[in-house]
Amino acid sequence: MGLDCAAESITAATPTARWDPGAVRSDFPALQQEVRGAPLAYLDNAATAQKPQAVIEAVARYYREDNANVHRAVHLLSARATAAYEGARAKVARFLNARSAAEIVFLRGTTEAINLVANSLGLQAGDEVALTHMEHHANIVPWQLQQAASGAALRVLPISPRGELEIEAVEGLLSTRTRLVTVTHVSNVLGTVNPIHEIVDIAHKRGIPVLVDGAQAVPHLEVDVQALDCDFYCLSGHKLFGPTGIGVLYGKAERLSALPPYQGGGEMIRRVSFEGTKFADPPQRFEAGTPHIAGAVGLGAAVGYLQGLDRVAAAEHEQGLLRYATQRLREVPGLRIIGESPDKIAVVSFVMEGVHAHDIGTVLDHKGVAVRAGHHCAMPLMDFYGVPATARASFAFYNTREEVDRLVEGLQLAREMLA
Amino acid sequence: MSDELTDIYQELILDHSRHPHNFRTMDGPSRMVDAHNPLCGDTLKLYVRIENGRVVDASFKGRGCAISMASASMLTDRVKGCSLAEAADLFETMHHLLTGTGRPEPTDLGELGALAGVRHYPMRVKCATLSWHALKAALTEGEPAMVSTE
């Protein structure tokens, strides 16, 4: 590092001093409430994040002042709605560092984005799609539907007991018939950050495109799609502090241009006659029907909110929470953390000997602590670890060490009561 | 600790979940039903032996939360000896009790009344009803031998 000791010790002593979670908490109305007589400790951010006032107000103001259909009428409100919708697209493009806003398709969410690519890729019998053992069902089931329809095969990239992709096994599972490698950037259960650069390198050397499920990554990591060099990147607005029902498919321009439409309807055409239809260019080609305009506006506001934060400090704060939570959870007898990659975002899944995850969830709920309990839409991963379910605490930059303490107190109570 | 929490996790329920009764497979059951809660991944198999229109034995295997284990344990205790009509009535009564759609008096139900606390936990009702849906399927000729609470 080349720094002297004094400088290093200052850095070590004040890793999160630049970040005050109390200040950002006041931006989130839902965090101001009590549940079951205690202040809400919302530790279910990997399921969906809370919304800042800026997002709530942007959606409300759109409906209050600008509501009209986009790309259609000549009147002023339609012009304002179109400008707001396309403005949101440009904001998301800058947020991901896409080359152009035309590479940003607005959809319902990550699930629809993956379904779009799965449907439009034109898989045929004998083709293969490679995915990892840690995928969310949203990056498994769309491919299984295509498998059934086309006869294409799935190849599963293995993971280690620590919850890391076995990167050295990737190459051997690719073949001349591999049409796509589809991989989550961050596991929603394990928190593992996958080495996307390496995966893209391996795949691109063979001319295979890569789709990245970024739903769990974008709330925590600064994502640059050009630096990653992935061909597709998918995200959900609601996990990024934006509205539900809006998400994004980023695709390199040449990749999107090569895909046929996913759904037909208005908005996605250039000219329609009964003899045939000429489709619009991307991104409109993939946005049939009136889009979720207010959702896109809200997502644009969420992205704007995040860009107004010191995201480096926010990420350091989250990593501090992860270290603290990991250390405190290890103090709870009978508790086992699932997912121990050194490269993790602030998600901790765990099981407790003799206590089912759902019972943990109910006891914590009584303490005002919201966690997720279940299979997290990753049943193959549950099978890998031989558990029916886990409990999962997932953090955002607005969470605090006190909330970690309350989580641990609740777990001690669950253990005393139920184990 | 809050009253609602001690209500749902009362000693009787914890006893049944830690030491479930009739927790065994059955050779040659009249019916065996696979029950699955896709919400949480809990699964159980319910076995019943029916002779002369009466449930003469009931048992279960599987894994799940304290509520689903206790509910299945109490069910197998209670249903043994019931006629098919009585068992069907018991399903209806318990379904109303657990979902809060009727107003049976828990006191009439003996131990089963302890499960009434789940009514206050909408997210947990399906844990308690899993084994009861399996029972209903087991009692009904022609029902699929697989039930799901979703």
Asked whether residue A181 falls in the same domain as residue A115, the answer is yes
The last residue of one of the domains, among A256, A277, A307, is A307
Whole-complex ipTM = 0.88
Pair of tokens at residue A237? 């607005």
For the residues A100-124, what does the mean pLDDT come to? 97
Which of A243, A274, A307 marks a domain boundary?
A307
Domain containing B100 — which CATH number? 3.90.1010.10
Question: What's the whole-number mean pLDDT along residues A35-42?
Answer: 95
pLDDT digits 0-9 by tens, A282-305: 999 999 999 999 999 999 999 999
Outline where DSSP puts E strands in A144-259: 153-157, 178-184, 210-213, 232-236, 247-251
Same domain, A325 and A232: no
In terms of DSSP H, where are the helices of chain B? Answer: 3-8, 11-18, 66-79, 84-99, 125-139
Give me the torsion for CA of A256, A262, A263, A269, rounded to 10°: 30
- Please tell me the distance in Å from B110's CA to the nearest CA on chain A: 23
Q: Measured between alpha carbons, how far is A145 from A147 in angstroms, rounded to an integer?
A: 5
pLDDT value of position B103 = 63
Residues A303 and A198 in one domain: yes
| pLDDT of B144 | 65
> What number is the average pLDDT over the span A354-376?
94
- Which has the closest alpha carbon to B37: B69, B75, B5, B10? B69
Give yes or no: residues A302 and A315 share one domain.
Answer: no
Minimum-distance CB partner of A418 among B4, B9, B123 = B9
DSSP annotation of A261 reads: P
Q: A187 in a domain, yes or no?
A: yes
Closest approach of A390 to chain B, Cα-based (Å): 9
Domain with A389, as residue range(s), is 15-44+310-418
**CATH at residue A109:** 3.40.640.10
Return the higher-pLDDT residue of B109 and A116.
A116
A124 and A234 assigned to the same domain: yes
Instruction: Name the pLDDT band for B123 (thresholds 50, 70, 90).
Output: confident
Question: Residue A91 — φ and ψ, nearest 5°?
Answer: -65, -45
Query: Among B64, B71, B13, which Cα is nearest to B36's?
Result: B64
Contacts of A360 in chain B (CB under 8 A): none
Q: Report the C-alpha gap between A41 and A369 in whole angstroms.
A: 5
- Active-site positions of A read 377
Q: Which of A103-117, A191-205, A354-368, B91-105 has the lowest mean pLDDT?
A: B91-105
Q: What digits encode the pLDDT tens for the residues B9-59?
A: 999 999 999 999 999 999 999 999 999 887 777 889 999 999 999 999 999
Q: What is the reported pLDDT for B42?
A: 81
Q: Which residue did the predictor score with more confidence, B40 or A121? A: A121
- Of the candidates B1, B14, B121, the beta carbon closest to that of A418 is on B14
For A388, the closest of B8, B9, B42 (CB atoms) is B42
A178 domain residue, yes or no: yes
Tell me if chain B has a CB within 8 Å of the CB of A388.
yes
Same domain, A95 and A124: yes
Does A244 fall in a domain? yes
Q: What is the pLDDT of residues A228-279, one digit of tens each?
A: 999 999 999 999 999 999 999 999 999 999 999 999 988 888 888 888 888 9
The pLDDT of residue A3: 40
pLDDT for B143 equals 65
User: Are A301 and A210 within one domain?
Assistant: yes
Residues A186 and A277 in one domain: yes
Residue A37 and residue A68 in one domain: no
Query: Does residue A350 contact residue A369 with C-beta atoms inside 8 Å?
Result: no
What was the pLDDT predicted at A10?
Answer: 40
**Residue A72 covered by a domain:** yes
pLDDT value of position B117: 87
pLDDT score of A15 more than 60: no
Split into its structural domains, chain A has a count of: 2
Long-range contacts made by residues A332-339, C-beta under 8 angstroms, separation at least 24? A332/A408, A332/A411, A332/A412, A332/A415, A333/A415, A334/A415, A334/A419, A335/A411, A338/A163, A338/A189, A338/A190, A338/A385, A338/A387, A338/A390, A339/A162, A339/A163, A339/A187, A339/A189, A339/A190, A339/A191, A339/A192
Residues A72 and A31 in one domain: no
- Confidence label for B149 from pLDDT (cuts 50, 70 and 90): low
- Evaluate if residue B2 carries a pLDDT over 80: no
Tally of structural domains, chain B: 1
Least confident piece of the model among A43-47, A343-347, A354-358, B102-106: B102-106
Query: Domain for residue A7, yes or no?
Result: no
Q: Can you give the residue range of the structural domain that contains B130?
A: 3-148
Q: What is the CATH number of the domain that holds A414?
A: 3.90.1150.10
pTM attached to this predicted model: 0.91
Q: What is the pLDDT of residue A5?
A: 41
B9 and A374: CB-CB below 8 Å? Answer: no
